[in-house]
Structure formats: structure tokens, C-alpha cells
Amino acid sequence: MIPLSRMELWSERYPTWRKFLLKSYQERMDELLDTLDSVAFDLLESRLWSYLVEKNRITQQNPISITHHNIAHDLYSSRVVISRLLKRLERAGKLELHRHAIELTSPSVT
């Protein structure tokens, strides 16, 4: 709504205006990064848990024989991200990690 020529002039002439703009941009960038982090990791953690529960249901195996790499491939993610999320789920008491296997321990798993 403010013409670009005015913004440039005010930025040069008024340090408080420039500071206001930079602060506003920083706040918006922080909000964007928080949102991306939430979408990327919270949703992926939910998808990962659903994936494991479904894998358990289909295979009737517990522990499930699978590698972090295979899970990452199936969920279109990286192995590092999957490993971190699995560790978070393990700390939450939902599963136990073993070499090439994941044991679901949460009561919601049947």
C-alpha cells in the first residue's frame, strides 16, 4: 500500500522506519520457520507412527523387521530425520529401537 519509492526514501531518511521494517521481516521469517518446522516434523512424526502401526497390523510382527533407511524411503524423507523421530517416539515410550527392528510398546498398538 506504500509506494516503493516512498519506502526507499523513508528507509534512507528515517533509521526508525528501517528498523521497523527489518524487525517486521524478522518476525515474519520466524513465524514462517516455526510453521515449516511444525508442518515438517509434527506431521511427519504422526505419519511415521501411523506407518509403524499399519506395518505392525499388516505383518502381525512385533518387533517389525525394518531399517530406518527403508522407512525413510517409504515416507519420502531422509534417514537422519526418521532416526531422530524414532528416537523421540522411543523417549515417549511408544516403541523400542533394535538393530534392523522396531518394537511397538504403546498401549494403542493391538
The span from the CA of 49 to the CA of 64, in Å, is 13
What is the rounded average pLDDT for all residues in the chain? 89
- Determine if the pTM surpasses 0.85: no
CA–CA distances in Å: residue 29 to residues 11, 22, 53, 57, 76: 20, 10, 36, 41, 26
The answer to the question of residue 110 being in a domain is no
73 or 41, greater pLDDT: 73
- Give the pLDDT score at 110: 47
CA 95 to chain centre: 19
Q: What is the mean pLDDT of residues 78-106?
A: 93
Residue 5 phi, psi dihedral angles, 5° rounding:
-60, -40
Pick from 34, 57, 56: nearest CA to 103:
56
The answer to the question of residue 109 being in a domain is no
Checking if the pLDDT of 82 tops 70, the result is: yes
Least trusted range by pLDDT, from 1-5, 61-65, 86-90: 1-5
Structural domains counted in the chain: 1
Q: What is the mean pLDDT of residues 12-20?
A: 92
The span from the CA of 47 to the CA of 53, in Å, is 10
- Give the pLDDT score at 37: 75
40 or 78, greater pLDDT: 78
* CATH number of the domain bearing residue 37: 1.10.10.10
Among residues of the chain, what percentage have pLDDT more than 70? 94
Structural domain range at position 16: 4-104
